[in-house]
Amino acid sequence: MSISKVLRAIVPIVAVVVALAGAAAAQTYPSRPIKLIVPVTAGGPLDTLARLTADKITAKLGQPVIVENRPGGGMSIGARSVAFAEPDGYTLLWASSSTLCVMPLLYPNLDFDPKNFVPVAEVATLPHFLVIAAQVPAKTAQEFAAYARANPGKLNYGASLGTSSHLMGAAFAKQANADITFVPYKGAASTITDLLGGHTHFTVETLMVLKSLIDEGKLRPLGVSSRTRWPGTPEVPTMVEAGFPNFPGDSFNGVVAPPGTPAAIVDKLNAAINEGMKTDDVTAKMNQLVVFPRFGSPADFAAEIAAQRPVWADMIKIAGAKIE
């Protein structure tokens, strides 16, 4: 028998053995604590959602899920730690459009490929609002664009490097034809602090971060990135309605696993997340956080990721965004 025939005979056997091993591992999984890496600082919207999800996985699977924040490098530091982790289901990544779609485009020299992460479950999508400090003399996005053009090089905006907020801010500056400087931050909390302090002039963030400050009149919303107005703020136009048509829709968030994680373990995690996040208390919390819940299979999440990649690639081109 030729070597090629031997290999053809062996490959299916190996595949069966691997599948059986994964199924066996899933039967006892999890037998120890699980680590969920969040690639941003604690306290922001991604961290809040991640911790909510971790609590539900803990409740469903009976093992503690420990959230570990590893910010920096445009989310690449935390993502890299999961990319090279053992594919046994005990190290997971809280991922977003920024991590899976934006980061590989802005950081072409990464020593890992975000496309190789194994999608586990999509959890939520987040609308983003463009806001300015209350003292900035503008009432609409077009007025703010005109103000920025009248003050070239004098305005700036803050966001976490390589995130959807960063790109949306860059896209606004590009479409406004204004010279606005980007200031990178490690998380939403410090971004908002400097905006309120007058060190920056606008940002694009989720309403979960901004709502109380908007309600208090400290920040003024000029537009929302989603294709429809947010029901809780019907007076705020979409960015398309405001005259900025090339903004993407809501960004996704969910859980992914290291490359090679067995399908049986992924399916077990997916079921735990979907069941846990459909409870009444989570629904109420999602409404409070101003996010849209999402449920589905690992394949559904993989399809969403694939669909969004060209959207963000176009966004980077439009914005002219790049990492120096």
The CATH number of the domain holding residue 263 is 3.40.190.150
Is residue 282 a contact partner of residue 52, using CB atoms and an 8 Å limit?
yes
* DSSP classification of residue 238: B
- Which residues span the domain enclosing 179? 128-224
Task: Return left, alpha or beta for 118; rule: phi > 0 is left, psi -120 to 50 is alpha, else beta.
Answer: beta
pLDDT string in tens for the chain (324-residue length): 556 565 566 645 544 444 454 566 678 999 999 999 999 889 877 898 999 999 999 999 999 999 999 998 878 999 999 999 999 999 999 999 989 998 888 888 899 999 999 999 999 988 899 999 988 999 999 999 999 999 999 999 999 877 788 888 988 998 899 999 999 988 888 999 999 999 999 999 988 788 889 999 999 999 998 888 888 889 999 999 999 887 777 789 999 999 999 999 999 999 999 999 998 888 888 887 788 889 999 999 999 999 989 988 887 887 777 665
Amino acid at site 252: F
199 and 275 housed in the same domain: no
Same domain as 50, residue 122? yes
Q: Are residues 209 and 262 in the same domain?
A: no
| This prediction's pTM | 0.77
How far apart are alpha carbons 69 and 118 in whole angstroms? 20
Q: Are residues 150 and 203 in the same domain?
A: yes
d(CA 154, CA 137): 14
DSSP code of 250? P
Residues 169 and 205 in one domain: yes
Q: Which residue, 160, 104, 102, is CA-closest to 312?
A: 102
Per-residue DSSP letter, 273 = H
In a domain, 243, yes or no: no
233 falls within a domain = no
**Overall domain count for the chain:** 2
